[in-house]
Amino acid sequence: MKECEAKDYQQAHKKEMRAVQDSMDVLSGKWKIAILSSICYYNKRRFSDILHDVEGISNKMLSKELKELEINKLVNRSVMDTQPITVQYELTEHGRTLQTIINHLTAWGIEHRKKIIGE
């Protein structure tokens, strides 16, 4: 391989890594995926419902994570005009494109557990 080709090769690789990092920046952390999973499983979900679905999360964390997900346009927040106020969260179209990845992660997680813990 010529030097310039090696360089291109490495450049391509770095680009890929940046892309994966971008994804992980959005998705990693203790709660994000669980929250997304809860919302998309039920289609629409209220704050307190998610709080209940995701075991162990505090309201502070949930509030923070939902904000970040909203900034990244993965979820939509809509205040319902009820008494008292309720807030609905749902996945955006962009958020729904994560479905495939979440499914793969689910499948892989099950296999992984078998391999590591179950032996």
Partner DNA sequence: CGGGATCCTTACTGATACTG
Partner DNA sequence: CAGTATCAGTAAGGATCCCG
Closest alpha carbon to 38 in 72, 74, 73, 71: 74
Single out the residue of 7, 13, 44, 96 in contact with a second copy (rule: CB under 8 A).
13
Q: Which of 2, 14, 15, 60 binds DNA (CB under 7 A)?
A: 60
Q: Please report which residue ranges of 1-119 form alpha helices under DSSP H.
A: 3-27, 32-42, 47-53, 59-71, 93-96, 99-116
Element (H, E) at 78: strand 75-80
Residues of the shown chain interacting with DNA in the complex, contacts defined by CB under 7 A: 29-31, 46-49, 56-61, 63-64, 66-67, 77, 84-87
Residues of the shown chain interacting with a second copy in the complex, contacts defined by CB under 8 A: 13-14, 16-24, 26-29, 33-34, 37-38, 41, 53-55, 72-73, 94, 97-98, 100-102, 104-113, 115-116
